[in-house]
A and B are shown apart, each in its own frame.
Chain A
């Protein structure tokens, strides 16, 4: 009989790692974020990334980091660069972040925390 830890190890072998070098946009999509407009921001991240022809970018939803007054927030990790936390986003800001940060590699300082 296989042991629980062995079965867990097997599950882990199959899983897709969280940090695998792909660019990631994590949008805070808890109730608080959504009520501040995170769903529209997330849509824009997806649309803008597609429009810019970016491949290898995952736009994922995540929970609440606990900073209500800064919602909507997104954490953007370009490849192996350190992550950048963007705050108080709008769809327009999201578009600019995709164009300048994810495509151009330049952090949009004015929107970052």
Chain B
């Protein structure tokens, strides 16, 4: 051996690598080692399946952590000669990024799955979420064992910090920094909070998982919990170790019954194996997790409102600072991360921060899950590296617009985000680029709109949601969203006046600037972005009293096509306001001044002679 390193060869135990009829490497490897007389000096170990089946057959050389793929006998000989004996890795055969792509393997290489990179969703749809054994097989609990055996809490925080992971719940705050701040709190000088008496002690700390997923159209957190609950438990346990906490809570909405059931079952399984509770893995570290069910208020996704709700108070935000890291649950330092953020943690620990920081863009590392919805062919959850363009997500993975209609806009970030028009489709998706394009990452909802969507109506839809979810604590949000909604409603009903545009813009900016929490601060985003990018639609509604997309029913006229009408009189009979006149066997006529646009006549017409314009 050229160097003194005692190397170990780890064989993959996946189906493809161990298939007796296939490319089993072990006999070859033993032969090659025996030929060189070093079979006693090199340890061979069979590991769990790596799931890198596109590169199979494969081996890993430890402790260097070098992954070799697509091997045969000749290549294996070279690896043994040059790396095991010579100490120099054979770069040509290395697998560049050893990401666990097992998921993609099982689902084929269609555009939808092949173009994704699944880290947080790696086990969803692959394992039985209620089976501890299945989770173990997917390298489950390896990260926790590694942390407890080889790392100090400080090293764990550093690993997360170095990885560049940012919060996936919407704000994009650096996760490692949050961990560091929470861990530092209460250890030395008193914090500038009301409760300095408590925090001057080396105090209790809490870990919370924010699973209060409220954006309309976003369901990645639900899927992640339903598909892989153990991952969340393992990640939170690692977080607890890193910041010195012994109690974690998952705040999950009660309308996710299946997620709650599976999470409960996973917590029970973990407790049974002493992976939650006292003295985890015999390390002396204790940590437990309980669930807190939320009643489904959107504002409770905001961290201070969430904590208020957990404490049994009304779910309303409070001004920050102090941040939860300083004074959170029961006034103790509290670490809150979103489900998707947590799901990245075991992968980072296992593969190292270097691996993670290579994924994504300069300031946004890793992957992001998006919930594709709206007028898109392939609806569903996709996970892509940060920096993938919107076009790639919508056309490459999503398959393009349904019925091959014309793309109009994509709404990202849920009701807090904005509508991005076609000219920004080549924007790489990361936290900062989306803000530049007038929207935001948010939790990752992505609603695609086509030519049939009216942008004023879209703005009204999202604002209706925000206005309804406003908690009412601060005036700008409580009153401002209400007034904004009134103006929008007026415009869509044909009663808009030219000054409305200016008023909308002015009021939007006030609400944005002066609201207490993220809800109010982001509520006018859809209005501002649609006004910026689709101003002509607003003008058409106000001046011509016309809805170009044909959505706002109050602005549409129902017309009977004289060429098609057979004079059956059914429309006149069903009309609730009797605005349709005519004689049987002749063309009927709708009086649009009286018409209330209920659409009953259109539904009833047997020859489809009635259309809207």
Q: What is the interface of chain A, defined by CB distance below 8 A to chain B?
A: 1-5, 7-8, 11-12, 15-19, 26, 28, 30-32, 34, 60-70, 75, 80, 83, 85, 113
Which residues on A sit within 8 Å (CB–CB) of B212? none
Cα–Cα, bound, A62→B256 (Å): 16
Q: Which residue of A lies closest to B144 (CB)?
A: A4
Cα–Cα, bound, A91→B128 (Å): 21
Number of A-B contacts (CB under 8 A): 129
Which residues on B sit within 8 Å (CB–CB) of A67? 112, 378-380
Which residues on A sit within 8 Å (CB–CB) of B128? 26, 60-62
Which residues on B sit within 8 Å (CB–CB) of A16? 133
Whether A8 lies near B380 (C-beta < 8 A) is: no
Which residues on B sit within 8 Å (CB–CB) of A61? 128-130
Q: Which residue of B lies closest to A15 (CB)?
A: B133
The 7 closest A-B CB pairs, nearest first, are A63-B227, A65-B125, A66-B381, A4-B281, A4-B145, A15-B133, A63-B124
Determine if B37 is an interface residue (Cβ-Cβ < 8 Å): no
Which residues on B sit within 8 Å (CB–CB) of A18? 49, 127, 133-134, 137-138
Besides the contacts A15-B136, A16-B133, what 5 more A-B pairs have beta carbons closer than 8 Å? A4-B283, A7-B282, A30-B227, A66-B381, A67-B380
Whether A113 lies near B108 (C-beta < 8 A) is: yes
Determine if B5 is an interface residue (Cβ-Cβ < 8 Å): no
Whether B49 lies near A62 (C-beta < 8 A) is: no
- Supposing A63-B123, A67-B380 touch, asked if A85 and B15 sit within 8 A by C-beta, the answer is no
| Residue from the list B14, B148, B258, B382 in contact with A66, Cβ < 8 A | B382
Whether B14 lies near A19 (C-beta < 8 A) is: yes
- Supposing A5-B145, A12-B48, A85-B107 touch, asked if A64 and B124 sit within 8 A by C-beta, the answer is yes
Cα–Cα, bound, A8→B223 (Å): 27
Distance (whole angstroms) from the CB of A81 to the closest CB of chain B:
10
Q: Which residue of B lies closest to A30 (CB)?
A: B226
Distance (whole angstroms) from the CB of B261 to the closest CB of chain A:
11
Cα–Cα, bound, A34→B13 (Å): 32
Q: Which residue of B lies closest to A83 (CB)?
A: B106
| Residue from the list A12, A17, A63, A66 in contact with B380, Cβ < 8 A | A66
Whether A66 lies near B145 (C-beta < 8 A) is: no
Which residues on A sit within 8 Å (CB–CB) of B136? 11-12, 15
Determine if B516 is an interface residue (Cβ-Cβ < 8 Å): no
Which residues on B sit within 8 Å (CB–CB) of A32? 219, 223
Q: Which residue of A lies closest to B382 (CB)?
A: A66
Whether B19 lies near A80 (C-beta < 8 A) is: yes
Interface string of B372-384 (1 = CB under 8 A from A): 0000011111110
Distance (whole angstroms) from the CB of B224 to the closest CB of chain A:
8
Q: Which residue of A lies closest to B136 (CB)?
A: A15
Cα–Cα, bound, A66→B134 (Å): 19
Whether B142 lies near A63 (C-beta < 8 A) is: no
| Residue from the list B13, B49, B130, B142 in contact with A8, Cβ < 8 A | B142
Residue pairs across A and B with Cβ atoms less than 8 A apart, 12 shown, are: A4-B148, A7-B281, A8-B141, A18-B49, A30-B227, A31-B222, A31-B259, A63-B228, A65-B107, A66-B223, A69-B378, A85-B107
Cα–Cα, bound, A24→B108 (Å): 17
- Supposing A4-B283, A7-B282, A75-B106 touch, asked if A64 and B48 sit within 8 A by C-beta, the answer is no
Which residues on A sit within 8 Å (CB–CB) of B14? 19
Which residues on A sit within 8 Å (CB–CB) of B13? 17
Cα–Cα, bound, A7→B128 (Å): 23
Whether A63 lies near B134 (C-beta < 8 A) is: no
Which residues on A sit within 8 Å (CB–CB) of B130? 61
Cα–Cα, bound, A75→B381 (Å): 18
Cα–Cα, bound, A81→B146 (Å): 35
Whether B281 lies near A62 (C-beta < 8 A) is: no
Cα–Cα, bound, A30→B112 (Å): 19
Which residues on B sit within 8 Å (CB–CB) of A31? 219, 222, 226, 256, 258-259
Q: Which residue of B lies closest to A5 (CB)?
A: B145
Determine if B596 is an interface residue (Cβ-Cβ < 8 Å): no
Distance (whole angstroms) from the CB of A69 to the closest CB of chain B:
5
Whether B145 lies near A8 (C-beta < 8 A) is: yes
Distance (whole angstroms) from the CB of A20 to the closest CB of chain B:
9
In the complex, which residues 280-333 of chain B have their Cβ closer than 8 Å to any Cβ of chain A? 281-283
Give the interface centre of B13, B19, B108 by most chain A CB atoms within 10 Å. B108
Cα–Cα, bound, A62→B129 (Å): 6
Cα–Cα, bound, A5→B126 (Å): 24
Determine if B423 is an interface residue (Cβ-Cβ < 8 Å): no
Distance (whole angstroms) from the CB of B327 to the closest CB of chain A:
33
| Residue from the list B144, B223, B377, B378 in contact with A64, Cβ < 8 A | B223
Which residues on A sit within 8 Å (CB–CB) of B380? 65-70
Determine if B564 is an interface residue (Cβ-Cβ < 8 Å): no
In the complex, which residues 89-106 of chain B have their Cβ closer than 8 Å to any Cβ of chain A? 103, 106
Distance (whole angstroms) from the CB of B274 to the closest CB of chain A:
9
